[in-house]
Amino acid sequence: MAGTAGSSLTAELNRLAGTTGKAAQGAANTYAGTSGLGINAALNIKAAGISTRQPSAYKGLNAICNELAGTTGKSASDALRTI
């Protein structure tokens, strides 16, 4: 189920994580099955797995959200809305 037009990054991360009211970092960790990581780290691990992408190769927020969504050129929120 795709997200709602105009929703925030935090709202989209909560939707994908199946949570409500979490801060973006907490929702990203829940979505990725990780804990205590920053948003980018959690989403990079979600996309590539912890053993296949090292921190030095992590993508930025927009890029990793586009990778997860299978889109290109969208903002992080717009990309996540398509999942």
Tokens in use for 69? 């969504």
pLDDT computed for residue 1 by the predictor: 64
Q: Quick check: is 3 in a domain?
A: no
| pLDDT at 49 > cutoff 80 | no
41 contacts: CB under 8 Å, gap ≥ 6: 34, 55, 58
* Domain count within the chain: 1
Average pLDDT over residues 57-82: 97
The gap from C-alpha 17 to its chain's centroid, in whole angstroms, comes to 9
Per DSSP, helices labelled H in the chain are: 9-17, 24-32, 39-48, 61-69, 76-81
Q: Quick check: is 77 in a domain?
A: yes
Residue 64: which domain range? 9-81
Q: Quick check: is 48 in a domain?
A: yes
Q: What are phi and psi of 62, to 5 degrees?
A: -60, -45
Q: Quick check: is 71 in a domain?
A: yes
pLDDT computed for residue 32 by the predictor: 96
| pLDDT at 25 > cutoff 70 | yes
Q: Quick check: is 35 in a domain?
A: yes
Q: What is the DSSP letter of 72?
A: S
Q: Quick check: is 22 in a domain?
A: yes
Position 57 confidence tier, pLDDT thresholds 50, 70, 90:
very high
Q: Quick check: is 39 in a domain?
A: yes
Q: Quick check: is 2 in a domain?
A: no
pTM of the model: 0.93
Tokens in use for 47? 């996309």
